[in-house]
């Protein structure tokens, strides 16, 4: 496996292996691998979990079920512990980049993150990214660092994503309860069957699990990024990677890469509502590459504004067929749905264009 720029995501189980704070037990081998990669001229961006686990011992909680506020408090103090733990293993400077979902939704922030990481890499700095848990709310959170790593890999135009955890990769069944489970070394297509193999996370302080790792892989491979799920608790794994041998599960990158804008639209923006379409509109979108016109709209759901992202739904099957940016609000669409585009100005007193969602602002799912 050859790569020039890689994102390495490290899970909480590796950062705080004893669940009592940061530990160097597994970090040393990871840092040695990163250093060797850099010595070979490769660029590395690190996405690190573990701030909640690192801060656990400093916040009184008294319960295994932590409140959101308690987790935020732990993350706030744990960030300092976690960053200090990373920096002590490197001679080069490390940077801290805290990101929320809002940063990926806003195109200017998206580009800003890209430029920041680019400049840091050019200056021999190791960027360390984490979700900004202390300020993120339920509407502004990516939700887990597996998916965050995939989005970061897209932003910084990485060619490879390594997801390190305490598991060897994707198995045919849960290896912890099924002795017949076998490791899948290569996955060419992520199907429902692959998702069905995903187990449930047993780590109290982790928000991931195999499901989120597969989700992250799906995001990455669509953008042409080879993705590997590997066991970061085994030091020999890193020797194999340097020898260009796959020690885990390799998700093969797509050759037909969707554009950066449409990848951003599909994976970075959360839908605020739904627009239900008739059969003619569904056919035009799926088979003709058309924009969505008001005449094909049957109904709308949820309150959304002009410029919000919406799901486009087949009214008959109730399946989401596409996602796009609406040029009209939910209130305006209720007035013009089913109408010809020529009537928009007559009904609303103004118009934002003949289409509701332009094909350039739409991605087929």
Supply the DSSP string of 55-86, one letter for each residue: HGGGS---SSS--HHHHHHHHHHHHHHHHHHH
The whole-number pLDDT of residue 259 equals 63
Describe the strand order of the beta sheet including 5-10 as a list of residue ranges: 94-99, 126-131, 43-48, 5-10, 160-165, 226-231, 249-251, 186-187
In angstroms, the CA 61 to CA 277 distance is: 49
Please, which residues bridge with residue 314 across strands?
A: 277
What predicted TM-score, i.e. pTM, was given to this entire model?
0.70
Q: For residues 14, 15, 21 and 24, what is the CA-based torsion angle, rounded to 10 degrees?
A: 90
**At how many degrees (to 10) do helices 107-122 and 145-155 cross?**
80
In angstroms, the CA 124 to CA 344 distance is: 55
Burial grade of 293 (CB within 10 A; 0-12, 13-18, 19 or more): buried
The whole-number pLDDT of residue 137 equals 57
The whole-number pLDDT of residue 207 equals 47
CB atoms inside a 10 Å sphere around CB 167: 25
SS3 247: coil
Domains of the chain: 5-263 (3.40.1160.10), 271-364 (2.30.130.10)
The whole-number pLDDT of residue 285 equals 94
The whole-number pLDDT of residue 345 equals 92
Digit-by-digit pLDDT tens for the chain (365 residues) are: 788 899 999 988 898 777 667 778 899 999 999 999 999 989 999 999 888 877 777 887 766 677 888 888 888 888 888 899 999 999 999 999 998 878 877 778 888 898 899 899 989 999 999 988 777 655 444 557 899 999 999 888 899 999 998 889 999 887 778 888 899 999 999 988 888 877 544 444 444 578 889 999 999 998 889 999 999 999 999 999 999 999 999 999 987 666 666 777 777 778 999 999 999 999 999 988 889 999 999 999 999 999 899 999 999 999 999 999 999 999 999 999 999 999 999 999 988 889 999 987 898 88
The whole-number pLDDT of residue 57 equals 76
Whether 86 contacts 51, CB under 8 Å: no
Nearest to 56 by CA among 220, 206, 163, 239: 206
In angstroms, the CA 219 to CA 239 distance is: 27
Residue 38 CA from chain centroid, whole number: 25
Kindly state the helix (H) or strand (E) to which residue 39 belongs, with its residue range. helix 27-39
């Amino acid at each position: 496996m050859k790569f020039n720029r890689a994102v390495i995501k490290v899970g909480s189980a590796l950062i705080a292996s004893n669940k009592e704070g940061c530990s160097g037990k597994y970090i040393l081998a990871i840092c040695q691998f990163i250093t060797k990669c850099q010595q070979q001229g490769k660029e590395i961006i690190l996405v690190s979990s573990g701030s909640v686990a690192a801060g656990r011992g400093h916040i009184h909680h008294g319960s295994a079920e932590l409140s959101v506020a308690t987790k935020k408090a732990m993350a706030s103090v744990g960030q300092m512990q976690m960053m200090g733990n990373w920096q002590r293993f490197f001679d080069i400077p490390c940077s801290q980049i805290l990101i929320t979902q809002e940063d990926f939704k806003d195109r200017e922030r998206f580009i800003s993150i890209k430029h920041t990481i680019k400049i840091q890499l050019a200056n021999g700095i190791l960027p360390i990214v984490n979700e900004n848990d202390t300020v993120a709310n339920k509407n502004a959170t990516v939700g887990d660092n597996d998916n965050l790593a995939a989005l970061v890999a897209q932003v910084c135009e990485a060619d490879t994503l390594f997801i390190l955890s305490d598991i060897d990769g994707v198995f045919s069944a849960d290896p912890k309860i099924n002795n017949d489970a076998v490791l899948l070394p290569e996955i060419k297509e992520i199907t429902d069957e692959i998702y069905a193999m995903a187990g449930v996370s047993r780590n109290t302080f982790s928000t991931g699990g195999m499901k989120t790792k597969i989700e992250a892989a799906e995001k990455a491979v669509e953008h042409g990024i080879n993705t590997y799920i590997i066991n970061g608790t085994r030091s020999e794994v890193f020797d194999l990677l340097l020898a260009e041998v796959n020690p885990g599960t390799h998700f093969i990158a797509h050759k037909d890469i969707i554009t950066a804008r449409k990848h951003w639209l599909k994976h970075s923006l959360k839908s605020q509502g739904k627009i239900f379409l008739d059969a003619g509109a569904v056919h035009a979108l799926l088979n003709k590459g058309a924009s969505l016109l008001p005449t094909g709209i049957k109904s709308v759901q949820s309150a959304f504004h002009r410029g919000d992202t919406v799901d486009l739904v087949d009214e008959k099957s109730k399946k989401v067929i596409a996602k796009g940016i609406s040029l009209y609000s939910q209130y305006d669409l209720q007035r013009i749905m089913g109408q010809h585009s020529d009537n928009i100005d007559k009904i609303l007193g103004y118009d934002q264009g003949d289409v509701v969602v332009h094909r350039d602002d739409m991605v087929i799912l």
